[in-house]
């Protein structure tokens, strides 16, 4: 399958690994390996250079977020999707900050997984909107106030447009397409937005926007 998208599956449960292997193989993907631990995931990713790693969070020796951080630093060309039982807002916030390409829960529609893998391989970000919304609902009530007190008026019109779309759960690529600007321009706007708001990631920026009525 020379043109197939190559996928590596990492989960500490054998039944889950084999179920995912069957699902993805039937969908036309090439499963190049399966891993049961964090260290094994890193090793097999280096060895097989998959397009996408489908990664559990709770694993022995290195958890999924640690693996994600390592892979994004060492092999940024590899897209990583977190597939987890936990829709914990802290996990989601950290995963987004680390550049995750997808975040799905294990009770999602199984057909969402091939769609997420294909989207990740094409450079897009796919999050379950219900997961993102629950995380925002939790975070916007409990997040600590930013050290920098910023008002909406201090953002440019384009920064406000970008921030609204972030709060609605759109990926950088989707924002670029919606606003007819380049992906690098979106990233530059986000860098400026984060600095002005005194936040460190897009989830905190989204919470800030929701608390000021920009996420509706």
* pLDDT tier for residue 177 given thresholds of 50, 70 and 90: very high
DSSP state of 154: G
pLDDT at 87 over 70: no
Write the CA distances from 94 to 11, 148, 176, 188, integer angstroms: 19, 21, 23, 20
Is residue 161 within 8 A of residue 179, CB to CB? The reply is yes
Given 77, 101, 136, the domain boundary residue is: 136
The predicted-structure confidence for 11-66, as pLDDT tens digits, reads as follows: 999 999 999 999 999 999 999 999 999 999 999 999 999 999 999 988 888 888 89
Mean pLDDT, rounded, of the chain: 83
pLDDT at 5 over 70: yes
Domain assignment of residue 67, given as a range = 6-136
106 φ/ψ sector (left φ>0, alpha ψ -120 to 50, else beta): alpha
pLDDT value at residue 84 = 81
pLDDT value at residue 141 = 46
Question: Measuring CA to CA, which residue among 150, 165, 154, 155 is closest to residue 206?
Answer: 165
Region 162-174: what's the mean pLDDT?
85
**Helices 14-26 + 112-121 axis angle, to 10:** 70
pLDDT at 188 over 70: yes
More confident residue, 113 or 3: 113
Given 78, 108, 136, the domain boundary residue is: 136
The CATH number assigned to the domain holding 206 equals 1.10.10.10
CA separation for the pair 106, 56 (Å, rounded): 10
Q: Which two tokens stand for residue 138?
A: 């939790």
49 in the same domain as 10: yes
Predicted TM-score (pTM) above 0.85: no
E-strand stretches of the chain: 6-10, 30-35, 52-55, 79-84, 102-105, 126-127
Region 152-161: what's the mean pLDDT?
90
63 in the same domain as 127: yes
pLDDT value at residue 189 = 94
The predicted-structure confidence for 195-211, as pLDDT tens digits, reads as follows: 888 887 777 787 788 77
């Amino acid at each position: 399958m020379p043109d197939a998208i190559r996928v590596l599956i990492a989960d500490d449960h054998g039944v889950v690994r084999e179920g995912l292997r069957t699902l993805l193989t039937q969908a036309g993907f090439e499963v190049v390996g399966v891993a049961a631990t964090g260290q094994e995931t890193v090793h097999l990713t280096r060895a097989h250079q998959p397009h996408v790693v489908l990664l559990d969070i709770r694993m022995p020796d290195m958890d999924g977020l640690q693996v994600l951080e390592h892979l994004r630093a060492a092999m940024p060309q590899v897209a990583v999707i977190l597939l987890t039982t936990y829709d914990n807002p802290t996990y989601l916030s950290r995963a987004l900050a680390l550049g995750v390409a997808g975040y799905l829960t294990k009770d999602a529609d199984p057909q969402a997984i091939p769609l997420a893998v294909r989207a990740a391989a094409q450079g897009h970000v796919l999050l379950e909107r219900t997961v993102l919304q629950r995380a925002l609902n939790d975070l916007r009530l409990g997040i600590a106030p930013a050290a920098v007190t910023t008002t909406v008026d201090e953002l440019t019109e384009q920064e406000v447009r970008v921030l609204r779309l972030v709060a609605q759960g759109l990926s950088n690529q989707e924002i670029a397409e919606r606003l007819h600007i380049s992906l690098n321009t979106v990233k530059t706007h986000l860098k400026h937005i984060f600095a002005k708001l005194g936040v460190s990631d897009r989830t905190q920026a989204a919470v800030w926007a929701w608390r000021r009525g920009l996420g509706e």
